[in-house]
Structure formats: structure tokens, C-alpha cells
Amino acid sequence: MLRTPSGGAGTGTAATGGGLMSIGTVLNLLREEFPEVTVSKIRFLEAEGLVEPRRTPAGYRKFGPRDVERLARVLRMQRDHYLPLKVIREHLDAQERPPAAPTAPGTRQVPGGPSEAAGAAPGGPGTARGGRVGRAELLAAAGADEAQLAEWEAYGLLGPAEDGGYAPEAVTVAKLVAGLGRFGLEPRHLRAMKAAADREAGLVEQVVAPLRRHRNPQTRAHAEARARELAGLSARLHAALVEAALRTGPR
């Protein structure tokens, strides 16, 4: 939870009365929830187009409440879902665009995603409880049908949890698989990516496993933070290697 400079608590939003803040003030607001955030990290997110603070005539950054909230959302999505910054930026930009008209009668717009059939409201038949995503919601978000989802699951690209719901990350995976499919890449072509991701996850687990087994709760908590950091670095390295290969050609 972010707190205002005067000490009042908000509900995840830096409620500062609309005033502009320096980068130091923003850092103090974010550090309660994100202790590892730094000024360099905020500047990096700005350089990546995740936030666009105003500038004074002297060139100093000035952040508004919406900038702070957007930064917090970016940091949460990195921490909780290990998403690449490009995916996070596209997701947030899509959420902030005006909602499109329903594509057909009997549909409604789901915040941050495509239209979903009426009757599959959060907490209803289409959505599993406990933070899970229901099958109907997953299909609607990805713009896919049952046959496509069954094929993705058959190739191990995603799958439901024991309660029948899907983890939030499955929505991102489904959208990306569907997007690649529009370029002719079929699930069988993506097995190598899934295998590479599993190997990367295995490497991260090898590094943090000793910390997870430690008796000290603080050390175990540090293991989770270290795992998130390693996952983010791994994702950035993977993206950079792909871009480098496209520039120079595969070796």
C-alpha cells in the first residue's frame, strides 16, 4: 500500500491531492511496497516508456499521482508475474485506451481485455476463485476457441491448476500464442520456447533453492525477491538475444 507524503494511506494509489512530486518523493512512496526500487530503476522505466513525468524548465522530473500509480502497477506486474516490460507497457496502454464498442449483442467489455460473453462475470461460472482465471475468461481474453485452447494444452504451453482455473500468467501466454499463430507459428513450433523457459526456470530455482530451505523467514522472503529479480533478468536476456540474432542472423 502506498502512503501519501502526509502519512495517510491510500488504496494502492498515491493520493497527493493532485500535486506534482520530485523523483525522491516518488521513491519514498514506492519503497514501502517495493523496498528494492531505486532512482535508477525509475529512470530506466521512464526510458522504456513506462511512465512520462513532466519536466520543469530546468529539466527536473515532476510526477503526478497517476504516474506514481502507474509505476506501482508496473513494479507489481514485474514482481508477481515476471512479465517483460514491453508486454507490461502494451497491457497498461490497452487498459488506458477508451473501451471499444461490443462486437456483438450480449457481450460486455472486460477491463484490460477483449469482450467476454455475458454471464461470465468475475466470481461467476466463467471465473475461478482464489485469483484464478476461468476457462471462459481465458478464451475471451485470447480471442480463441475451445479447439485452440485444447491444442495449446496438448503441447504443454499452458494448463489449468488443480482447481480447474488458470493462473493470471496463462492469460498473457494465451494472448501471445494466439498472436504468434496469426503469423503462422503453430503450437508445435513453440515447444522449443516452452522448453527453454522451463530450463531458465530450473536455473533460477537452483540459485534460490538453498535460500528457500533456510530457517530464517527473512532469508526465505529474500529468496522470493531474488527469484523475481533473476526471472526478470532472464527474460531481458532472452529478448536481447533474439533481437541480436535477428540483426546478425542465427549462428
Give me the amino acid identity at 22: S
pLDDT means per 10 residues, the chain with 251 residues, are 48 51 94 92 91 91 94 89 80 72 47 38 39 85 90 90 86 90 90 87 85 78 82 83 78 57
Global pTM?
0.46
Cell numbers given for 64: 503526478
Contacts of 134-141 with CB under 8 Å at 24 or more apart are 134/165, 134/166, 135/160, 135/164, 135/165, 135/166, 137/110, 137/171, 138/166, 138/170, 138/171, 138/174, 140/110, 140/113, 140/114, 140/115, 140/116, 141/110, 141/113, 141/114, 141/116, 141/171, 141/174, 141/175
Q: Count other Cβ atoms within 10 Å, centred on residue 118.
A: 12
Give the domain 23-95 fold.
Multidrug-efflux Transporter Regulator; Chain: A; Domain 2 (1.10.1660)
